[in-house]
Amino acid sequence: MIPPPKNVKQDANASSTTELPQDQDLGRITNSVGIPVVNEINPLTVGPRGPILLQDAYLIDKLSHFDRERIPERVVHAKGGGAHGYFEVTHDVSHLTCADFLNTVGKRTPMFARFSTVAREMGSADTVRNPRGFALKFYTQEGNFDMVGNNTPVFFERNPSAFKDLIAVQKRDPRTHMPSPNMFWDYFTLRPVSFHQLLIQFSNRGTPDGFRHMHGYSSHTYKLINQEGRVHYVKWHFRTDQGVKNLSAKHAEKLAGTEPDYAIQDLFNAIERKEYPSWTLYFQVLTEDEALNYKYDVLDVTKVISQKDFPLQEVGRFVLDRNPENYFAEVEQAAFAPSHLVPGIAPSADRMLQGRLFSYADTHLHRLGPNHAQLPINSPINGVNTTIRDGPLVMGTNGGRNPPYYPNSYGGPHPDPSVREYESEYKLDGIVGRYEYELCERDFEQPRALFKLLAPNEQQDLVENLADDVSKTHAYIQRRVVDVLEQIDATFAKRVQEALSKS
């Protein structure tokens, strides 16, 4: 965790480096190992017009570090903004979970949030039509808990093997190096289960008005375990206290050209103005029997659980009240993983979640290195006491002289049997195999309900947004889009077909 800065001489209204006070003295400049620098501008040369000497250690230090400034960008969620804040429990949920940070009304836990676009690269605009990442890191007394969600309650696919493919079609064509509607719609029309997410993405909710005016969701169903070991299935909902606001397609497109960092700037400026954004956390709670017998598979991330069947239960609220001091150190190096779960919170058997438990932690090993958890933004407040040692860029004492193995005869560290693991005992029964989710009528029920839930003007926006993008594809792909929409709602499909014929 990165604490608030101390003893920083800065104007109260200064939001960037260029607005720092001009009368402060930050001391003499040094190289990367603290040696004072004599001259920052002029290299060491043979005479005023001669070649530069290799012995100019500071020049080599500066250039070699410059050559390595960039780290690999995230494959997904490459561009985003973040802020520090706190989470406060407002309602008792100790009967549902033994998680320490949720066990007392009024308890506050420091946290960090990062919002992002999902499939686009670092240089893309904030207002592109795309899902938004909604990642939260809670610095609890039992270690870091990461909730790595999105601004939509569902996702494109329910099998993790499809994750790479659904992202690939939202990247760039391998020949033209441009976004390809043909590639996008070719894939998704061959995977009709994705249309629940696609209808959200091509509605006005696909272009939220910045990060402050959108909800967040776990999307997946998780498990909560209480002190007695009883399990409940839970979906997490983070509802914006600022109210939901979306951008029209035209406004979003305009901002992409005039203010490509619109969402990042909006979040940063609001916090600087002390207009601290907040979200209220709710649970949807099912017993094990209710989850097993529900009309939809609660482990299928392409489906929602009806709030009429299982109403939202308020839990707490998080507030973002502090901007990062350094974007790279705090936002770019923040590492979120669904596998970062504290006692009392456990993963369900949701297939996509199971794949993400591995994939997110693994990508940080590639992007940031094996010791990324030691970076201040990722380090827990309760400390680390582990036999995991060494690797590139160790920070701290690396465990000192203490034994790097277990068991040992020298005082530990040792396991704590009193800690409630995810689930120490539960029954699994089945034949190992590759079981297919077969597409059926049930997969079109929720997209159909979503379309009918939209107001007439929102339905028209959805029709126009779809037709505008699909019109850029081959005729046979356009026919396939309409064929899938026919299975959702015949009138809806007809309206899209009519809009396509006018394109």
- The residues carrying an active-site annotation are 77, 150
- The string of DSSP codes covering 210-221 is SSTT--EE--S-
CA 320 – CA 111 distance, rounded (Å): 9
Which residues neighbour 278 within 8 Å (Cβ) at sequence distance 6 or greater? 240, 241, 242, 317, 318, 319, 320
> What's the distance, Cα to Cα, between the start and end of the chain in Å?
52
Give, in degrees to the nearest 5, the angle at Cα 455 between 453 and 461: 110
What the block records as the tokens of 206 is: 């696909």
Q: What is the pairing mode between strands 278-287 and 216-217?
A: unpaired
The C-alpha atoms of residue 78 and residue 76 are separated, in whole angstroms, by: 5
Contacts of 448 (CB under 8 A, 6+ apart): 488, 489
Residue 56 to residues 28, 45, 62, Cα–Cα distance (Å): 19, 9, 10
Alpha helices in 161-259 (DSSP H): 163-168, 181-189, 195-202, 249-258
160 and 356 in contact (C-beta within 8 Å)? yes
Helix axes 475-488, 195-202, angle to 10 degrees: 100
- For 18-105, where are the E strands, in sequence order? 80-89
Q: Are 126 and 264 in contact (CB under 8 A)?
A: yes
Give the 3-state secondary structure of residue 338: coil
Would you state the structure tokens that stand for residue 313, as one six-digit string?
Answer: 């239960």
Rounded to whole angstroms, the Cα distance separating 300 from 193 reads 11
Of 154, 114, 126, nearest to 318 by C-alpha is: 114
Residue type, 97: T
Contact (CB, 8 A) for 157 and 193: yes
Q: Look up residue 279 and give its two tokens.
A: 């979200």
- The whole-angstrom separation of Cα 97 and Cα 353 is 20
C-alpha–C-alpha distance, residues 92 and 315, integer Å = 7
Measuring CA to CA, which residue among 237, 339, 341, 226 is closest to residue 287? Answer: 226
Q: Supply the Cα-derived Rg of the chain in whole angstroms.
A: 25
Helical H segments across 280-408, by residue range: 288-293, 327, 351-367
